[in-house]
A = this chain, B = another copy of it.
């Protein structure tokens, strides 16, 4: 059965200590239900990484959505889009008529006392937190000549500029390449402005079938994969193969080619993340994502605008909410409601979310969705 996104909603993004995960969720869901012109759903899938048990129930019960199944889903940074995958499958299979996918995360309160790695976290003990992992990917790309430090910095310049048009973004601004390069070094070669911030936020989408739909945003294809064991002989950097495989599945099921994509939100937790994702999605087959960024092809107004919302780097990265924030952005773009950051003529949009990683695995999860 064809599935549609009836409506989307988000909270603001940023450090919001006056909020809790479920009050942010309330804002996002309220907006999504209003936009969808519905007041009930048959099941709720809530993506969160560090949300306390019960946060999903608190969110939806405060809206009066009681009695329906509520399922919390964790899939690292792909939790929000993993919730969408399950919400979509439940409608597509006829199990439910209408479902709600929500992502919520409140990192400020959760880690108010500081962020302590799990005692059993071997990766953390080895320094392989995600900034380090992405930095190693950047080094490999630099070494192979697939990107330059200038091009990496230009991703940060572009996304912070895009966010100037997004009133809900956590950060925004006009930076120069030199300013990005001169910001504090976090994990060589990634400087502060090349790393996503700690964010609180929520986002939601109502999914349903063709009956009674008032939206023309169809989920043309959606795929979820978890990574394989890392093969040290791979010619690709960490995560590339997982994104490429997931994208191929989603594109095939949508019946599109990469060249058909008009606008995309990708997982730029770090600047190198955007570069690798765009390459793996096949969006810049000739020059590669690095050169395309330098040529302005991935900016709003360019050939294939990437992260018009400002991306994780600038809109913010509330882990479990991120995937659905990306979805909300693409839906708003396709509905021509994006205001100053509108991508002209956008008919087909893509979301790509890359979920975390533990030692020896090519990513916990990747979700790619094709909307249009």
Contact = CB atoms under 8 A, between A and B. Distances in A.
Contacts of A35: none
Nearest to A90: B89
A49 interface: yes
B49 A227 contact: no
B82 A71 contact: yes
A44 to B, nearest CB: 8
Given A53-B49, A225-B69, A95 B89 contact: yes
Interface stretch (A117-125, A181-189, A323-331): A117-125
A58 interface: yes
Q: How many copies does the complex hold?
A: 2
A93 interface: yes
B120 A70 contact: no
Interface string A98-124: 000000001001101100001111000
Interface in A334-372: 356-358, 360-361, 364-365
Nearest to A46: B74
Contacts of A57: 226-227, 358, 361, 364-365
Interface of A: 20-21, 49, 52-54, 56-58, 60-61, 64, 66-76, 82, 85-86, 89-90, 93-95, 106, 109-110, 112-113, 118-121, 224-229, 245, 356-358, 360-361, 364-365
13 contacts: A54-B357, A54-B364, A57-B361, A58-B358, A61-B228, A66-B226, A66-B229, A67-B228, A69-B226, A89-B90, A93-B94, A93-B95, A109-B119
A72 B70 contact: no
A112 to B, nearest CB: 6
Contacts of A58: 358, 361
Given A224-B69, A228-B67, A361-B57, A52 B118 contact: yes
Contacts of A358: 54, 57-58
